[in-house]
Amino acid sequence: MMINESLAGDFILVGFSDQPQLEKILFVGVLISYLLTLVGNTAIILVSCLDPMLHTPMYYFLTNLSFVDLCFTTSIVPQLLWNLHGSAKTITPVGCAIQLYVSLALGSTECVLLAVMAFDRYAAVCRPLHYATVMHSRLCQSLAGMAWLSGMGNTLIQGTITLWLPRCGNRRIYHFICEVPAMIKLACVDIHANEVQLFMASLVLLLLPLALILISYGYIVQAVMRIRSAQAWRKALGTCGSHLLVVSLFYGTITAVYIQPNSSYAHREGKFITLLYTVLTPTLNPLIYTLRNKDVKGALKRLKKWKSRVIFMTFMFLSIIN
């Protein structure tokens, strides 16, 4: 497929333009996935806010995660769908900068937020008698705020340095999004320092949170092994299983992109892996939490009953007025 390069100054997102048949399949798949992401994460946010039984630290952090996923996919998918559907694979410099800043901030926030959620599960399983004391509302707000500030701080540093690199007219981004590893490849100067900086940032915001998650689950496994009750076993596994699945999906894909050798980043496999953590993972997160979580499923049922009552009362009120 020929790429429209008529818009001077705009960046060209090459993406999957060398495989037009694949673009059609991806368009349908990404569109369905995006709609499911919007519905699923919005449902979790509404249920967690409206149901008093879910006003707990776990669902407070889950609400933050769903909001991050909503914004993260929205910063990427609409532009991706536009490029997959048409021949103009362009994005304006302002649009590219916004996408870079927003997606990097939200992706970094999710890395830290998943580590915070692992600490919450550690406190719930390993310190159940002191859980309410440890995970008080002020601490929960501080931990969530730390995750958001970490994301914003990282994007201000990494994004600004990346955008200030001289590109000497290079506009072809061999990716479907404006992402730091792809953007620094456009530079016409030595980028070794930038690659080292990106690697160090990845260590801090990817591997460090992942290490904390693994340590938390190490303690959780030890605590679960000491449990004799089968019911308590199931409760502990149910409480942690959903989060562990989400962690595996997110970190398993994003580390493959940011920790892999830079020489292989522009290969086709890198773009497909990026699709997994930018499109697929935010879609699966609400499904994992609702299908494996009795509390959320129960809250959804209560919300449906509440909605039915509201509709019935509204209908009766309108009938009386008429």
Mean pLDDT by groups of 10 residues along the chain of 322 residues:
50 85 91 93 87 85 94 94 85 92 94 92 87 91 95 92 85 88 84 80 85 88 75 66 79 78 55 88 83 66 60 49 54
What are the angstrom distances between the C-alpha of 203 and each of 124, 267, 283? 28, 22, 26
- What is the rounded CA–CA span in Å between residue 3 and residue 169? 17
- What is the rounded CA–CA span in Å between residue 177 and residue 71? 15
What are the angstrom distances between the C-alpha of 131 and each of 121, 134, 286? 10, 5, 25
- What is the rounded CA–CA span in Å between residue 67 and residue 78? 17
Residue-wise DSSP of 6-21: -STT-EEE-TTTT-HH
Residue in the block written with tokens 């901030």: 105
Residue in the block written with tokens 């310190």: 127
Residue in the block written with tokens 């939200």: 106
What lies within 8 Å, CB to CB, of 7 at 6+ separation is 88, 90
DSSP state of 122: H
- Closest Cα partner for 242 from 294, 291, 289? 289
Q: Residue 70's pLDDT is what?
A: 95
Q: Residue 7's pLDDT is what?
A: 40
Q: Residue 5's pLDDT is what?
A: 42
Q: Residue 151's pLDDT is what?
A: 93
